[in-house]
Amino acid sequence: IDEKWFNITRKTVRYYAAPTASRRIRTIQNKNFIPKIMILTALARPRFDSNGNCIFDGKIGCFPFVTYTAEKRSSVNRPAGTIEMKPIESITKEVIRSFMIEKVLPAVRAKWPREDAGKPIYIQQDNA
């Protein structure tokens, strides 16, 4: 398991779109103050059978540290009640723990190979 910070968008963005495509809307207020988002990624070793065929690719999931909130007021960009994705600004021990229990462990149980079901699973984190 590893965490990494990413910028939500870039300062300058170039799009090539068809004439009938809608224009992309930048959801930040100022291009000089771009918020960051943290993503938790879980990986495992891939598993292969005796013929060398991949039976488990090791990809478990990516989990962004965001909250989904309904907007209270209308604006020119969206009506009231629209669900917006907001990054969690302060990542604390409690936030990491809740993500591990609610998102990472169910994903590990769902995607883990059945032939390794009886063996112990160790979750290794870095010292972040």
Instruction: Report in angstroms the alpha-carbon separations of 32 from 5, 28, 67, 75.
Output: 17, 10, 23, 22
Q: DSSP letter at 24? A: P
Give the closest residue to 104 by CA, choosing from 61, 65, 67, 66: 61
Two structure tokens written together for 17: 């779109």
- How many Cα atoms sit within 13 Å of 97 on the Cβ side? 3
pTM: 0.74
Domain ranges (residues) in the chain = 2-8+37-114
The dihedrals phi and psi of 104, each to the nearest 5 degrees, come to: -70, -50
Average confidence (pLDDT) per 10 residues, the chain, 128 residues: 87 82 75 87 91 91 93 88 89 92 93 87 80
